């Protein structure tokens, strides 16, 4: 019972921690510039989409895919902005253990991240690759594990194997951890975007002082956005370089609440969804 109470109050605790800490940390990896983005309300998801946890682009700029969190039906929703469901895909018997984010590749396939791991004890982490163009989706499974996890769960101060954020880029999947301690280090892992069993590669880590809840890369491949409690981090994506070493910006988002989904609508515009289904457009000035 105590662990259930702890898990229930953890998001509140870390949200308050992020607000009190304020600006992102600077630990010898370059300072964060202030990102110049305007934030506007952009609609609301229908009530049938409970606790929207991930967003991905559909075939047009005004269509999106989204899904619910753990405990919701195994369904994907195609949504027309500003917020009406055009199509529902029932993916049962595919399990929704803890779906946390969506990504899309250049061929239009979706990647559904079943890697939520609040207690850091899962051994069945998976990403489902879906072909959704017509009829019932074809599903392939990308099973994986973290190379640096030895205990299930680890000691409380080392529980950094939860994940709620990833994106696809050049045949690889890039995952970002959500630290369940107050140290708030984000780890960057990479996986091949193909079915099978894989060991993720730990690429880098950086203390951001905020839990990461979603990720995406801009259509031109130049900018990576990591959504956090109370803000969004923007990194320059330079091929052959570590992401966290590149120029980085931060935009505080104090009015969006606990945002969980993020997608680039174009190279300079982000769309966010929060746990209450509200949508926000974040536009570069």
Task: Tally the residues of the chain.
Answer: 285
Using the predicted structure, report yes or no on whether residue 188 has a pLDDT greater than 90.
yes
pLDDT band at 21 (very low <50, low <70, confident <90, very high): very low
d(CA 68, CA 50): 5
pLDDT digits (tens, 9 = 90+) for 211-226: 999 999 999 999 999 9
The band of 26, judged by pLDDT with boundaries at 50, 70 and 90, is low
Alpha-helical runs (H) found in the chain: 2-21
CA distance 77 to 251: 29
- 248-252, strands of its sheet edge to edge: 33-34, 248-252, 231-236, 223-228, 212-217
- Give me the torsion for CA of 87, 88, 91, 92, rounded to 10°: -150
pLDDT-derived band at 60 (thresholds 50, 70, 90) equals confident
44 has a pLDDT exceeding 90: yes
Contacts of residue 199, defined as CB under 8 A and 6 or more positions apart, other chains included, come to 144, 145, 146, 147
In the chain, what are the domain boundaries?
2-284
Q: What does the DSSP 8-state code read for residue 268?
A: T
* pLDDT tens by residue, 191-249: 999 999 999 999 999 999 999 999 999 999 999 999 999 999 999 999 889 999 999 99
Cα 37 from chain centre? 20
Cα dihedral 169, 37, 176, 136, rounded to 10, equals -60
Residue 131 pLDDT more than 60? yes
| d(C-alpha 64, C-alpha 42), whole Å | 13
C-alpha 152/C-alpha 263 separation (Å) is: 32
Confidence of residue 24 (pLDDT cuts 50, 70, 90): low
CATH number of 2-284: 2.120.10
């Amino acid at each position: 019972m105590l662990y259930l109470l702890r898990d229930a109050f953890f998001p509140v605790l870390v949200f308050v921690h992020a607000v009190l800490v304020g600006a992102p940390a600077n630990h010898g990896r370059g300072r964060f510039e202030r990102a110049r983005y305007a934030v506007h309300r952009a609609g609301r998801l229908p009530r049938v989409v409970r606790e929207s946890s991930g967003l991905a682009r559909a075939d047009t700029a005004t269509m999106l895919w989204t899904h619910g969190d753990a405990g919701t039906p195994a369904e994907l929703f195609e949504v027309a902005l500003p917020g009406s469901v055009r199509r529902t895909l029932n993916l049962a018997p595919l399990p929704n253990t803890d779906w946390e984010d969506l990504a899309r590749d250049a061929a239009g396939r979706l990647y559904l991240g079943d890697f939520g791991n609040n207690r850091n004890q899962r051994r069945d982490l998976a990403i489902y690759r879906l072909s959704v163009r017509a009829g019932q989706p074809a599903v392939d499974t990308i099973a994986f594990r973290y190379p640096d996890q030895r205990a299930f769960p680890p000691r409380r101060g080392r529980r950094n194997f939860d994940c709620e954020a990833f994106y696809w880029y050049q045949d690889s999947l890039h995952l970002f951890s959500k630290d369940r301690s107050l140290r708030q280090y984000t780890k960057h892992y990479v996986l091949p975007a193909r079915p099978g069993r894989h060991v993720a590669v730990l690429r880098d880590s950086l203390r951001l002082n905020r839990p990461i809840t979603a990720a995406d890369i801009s259509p031109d491949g130049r900018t990576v956005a990591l959504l956090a409690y109370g803000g969004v981090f923007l990194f320059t994506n330079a091929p052959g370089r570590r992401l966290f070493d590149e120029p980085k910006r931060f935009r505080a988002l104090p009015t969006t609440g606990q945002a969980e989904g993020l997608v680039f609508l174009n190279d300079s515009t982000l769309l966010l969804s929060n746990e209450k289904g509200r949508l926000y457009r974040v536009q570069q000035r």
